[in-house]
Amino acid sequence: MNQKIKKVISELKTDVIAEERKLVLLPLINFVQDKVDANKTANINFICTHNSRRSHLSQIWAQTMANYFDINNVTTYSGGTEATAMFPKVGETLTKQGFEIQKIADAKNPIYAIKFDDNSHPIIAFSKKYDDEFNPVSEFAAIMTCSHADGNCPFIAGAEKRIPITYEDPKLFDNTEQQAEKYEERSLQIATEMLYIFSQIKK
């Protein structure tokens, strides 16, 4: 794994996660553990309204942490209730935290290859609806990363589990002096929680 990302991970403190929040994270821990125990792939689809910020950060950090703990049968995805584009500040934030990001298709909705390790397959990131053909159609956990998507998507077809793990939207700070700080803060919060989740998995 990229040394800069390893350094970021080494500085994360999971003991700051409140006990009430750990209860929110527990269903995802159980989902992944059940799949590992059954020697099946844990497909996880992180869903938000626009698939532009929180769902991408969650997908990327979850895949990174699965790799960090050498849990091989985890594949992460993301989607929205509508497709827009991955917000550029997300890529800037992740680059600052050590990820290598290559734009492989330039369009209104660009496609990015995001690497946490020189020898691992990149995470392909672009905005899409949660039921896009790029994503799994069944036997996956739907993780609702924003309350709007959670409230407006009462049914996710094909989802084996539906788990709300919501985050405050860094978009609230766009075009303010706090923008960079808040995107970094949200990314590190998500990274910390994904570190905690995958640290609980017994192989």
Residue 121 gets which letter from DSSP? P
Strand 42-48 to strand 140-144: parallel, antiparallel, or no bridges (unpaired)? parallel
Q: 58-113: per-residue pLDDT in tens?
A: 999 999 999 999 999 999 999 999 999 999 999 999 999 999 999 999 989 999 99
Residue for token pair 């991955």 = 86
What is the pLDDT, as a whole number, of residue 151? 61
Q: Which residue has the higher pLDDT, 120 or 57?
A: 57
User: What sections of 14-173 are H helices per DSSP?
Assistant: 19-37, 54-68, 88-96, 147-152
Taking residue 142's Cβ as centre, other Cβ atoms within 10 Å add up to: 27
> For the chain, how far is it from start to end, CA to CA, in angstroms?
20
Residue 44's closest CA among 67, 78, 76? 76
40-74 per-residue burial string, b: 16 or more CB within 10 A, e: under 16? eebbbbbbbbbbbbbbbbbbbbbbbbbbbeebeeb
pLDDT surpasses 80 at 155:
no
Helix (H) or strand (E) holding 44: strand 42-48
φ, ψ dihedrals at 167, nearest 5° = -130, 150
Mean pLDDT of 130-134: 96
Mean pLDDT of 166-190: 96
The pTM of the full predicted model, rounded to 2 decimals, is 0.96
pLDDT at residue 158 is higher than 80: yes
**Quick check: 173 and 77 in contact, CB under 8 A?**
no
Q: For the chain, which residues make up each domain, given as ranges? A: 8-97+129-199
Q: What sign does the dihedral 181-187-190-191 (CA atoms) show?
A: negative
Average confidence score pLDDT of the chain = 95
Residue 40 has pLDDT above 80, yes or no: yes
- Checking if the pLDDT of 196 tops 70, the result is yes
Asked whether residue 149 carries a pLDDT value surpassing 80, the answer given is no
Q: Which CATH architecture has domain 8-97+129-199?
A: 3-Layer(aba) Sandwich (3.40)
